[in-house]
């Protein structure tokens, strides 16, 4: 590499060589009539260059924004008893929970959600309160129903007393979208609300739409969420959790 120095500027004159610009001493490289001052050292991996609005550029770590994935878990084949995602903390005030293409091994199984902290998932007999209301989309007549419990070992996601639960025949199963409304360090009891669709083991198969909500009966440092069925394993499906940034 050959260099040409003109008024303190180093320019490359060789073929296919880099052009090096550097300030003298503690000086920085100024471009555009001196309006932009570039950093004189590289930043860390995945950092970006940011301006301070006064002409000085620097490497910074970009702020997280939007939906940021916390974790995802899948099951297939012989299945698993639960889907568990950990890593929730006080970074985010709201978390989104998606259940996709969920199929129980046991026919007519009831879906549940549970929460937990660093000591594990809470499953005491009266840890949770919940409600579920929905409609059986079997004909042209609206026929809503619902159920609730103020002392249960989990948050039930549907009213099985009116329409049955989640089927496991061809084309049956469930999915849904839910939100956890408190951060890990929240002072309010952790609560969940959301909607789901499931297909019941009837002939013909019925589409059931459900809106549900529930919560833990005490404030905990929530760091995990768990999905399970009332009986049998989860044959296939995915649970994904995102933290939602507010800025």
Distances (CA, A) of 219 to 40, 105, 153, 186, 207: 49, 34, 16, 7, 35
- pLDDT tens track for 176-210: 999 999 887 888 999 999 999 998 877 666 888 89
pTM of structure: 0.75
Domain 67-244 has CATH 2.60.120: yes
User: Each residue of 147-181: pLDDT tens digit?
Assistant: 999 999 999 998 877 777 899 988 899 999 999 99
* pLDDT over threshold 60, residue 41: yes
Which pLDDT score, from 0 to 100, does residue 42 have?
80
The neighbour count for residue 184, using CB atoms within 10 Å, is 21
Structure-token match 């060589």, residue found: 17
3-state secondary structure 182-236: CCCCCCCCCEEEEEEEEEECCCCCEEEEEEEEEEECCCCCCCEEEEEECCCCEEE
Q: Where are the domains of the chain?
A: 3-60, 67-244
Q: Which of 24-28, 71-75, 233-237 has the lowest mean pLDDT?
A: 24-28
pLDDT of residue 16: 67
Report CA torsion sign: 232, 76, 240, 201.
negative
Per-chain mean pLDDT for the chain: 85
């Amino acid at each position: 590499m050959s260099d040409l120095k003109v008024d303190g500027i180093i320019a490359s004159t060789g073929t296919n060589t880099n052009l090096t610009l550097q300030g003298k001493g503690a000086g920085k490289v100024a471009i555009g009539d001196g309006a932009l001052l570039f950093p004189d050292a590289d930043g860390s991996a995945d950092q970006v260059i940011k301006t301070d609005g006064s002409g000085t550029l620097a490497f910074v770590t970009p702020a997280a924004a939007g939906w940021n994935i916390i974790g995802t878990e899948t099951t297939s084949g012989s299945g698993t008893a639960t889907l568990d995602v950990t890593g929730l903390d006080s970074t985010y005030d709201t978390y989104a929970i998606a259940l996709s293409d969920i199929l129980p091994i046991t026919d007519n199984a009831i879906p549940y959600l549970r929460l937990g902290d660093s000591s594990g998932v809470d499953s005491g007999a009266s840890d949770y309160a919940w409600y579920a209301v929905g409609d059986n989309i079997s004909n042209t007549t609206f026929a809503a129903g619902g159920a609730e419990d103020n002392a249960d070992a989990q948050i039930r996601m549907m009213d099985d007393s009116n329409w049955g639960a989640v089927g496991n025949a061809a084309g049956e199963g469930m999915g849904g979208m839910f939100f956890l409304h408190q951060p890990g360090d929240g002072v309010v009891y952790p609560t969940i609300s959301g909607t789901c669709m499931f297909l019941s083991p009837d002939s013909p198969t019925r589409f059931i739409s459900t809106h549900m909500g529930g919560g833990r009966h005490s404030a905990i440092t929530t760091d995990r969420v768990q999905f399970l069925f009332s009986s049998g394993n989860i044959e296939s499906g995915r649970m994904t959790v995102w933290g939602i940034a507010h800025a």
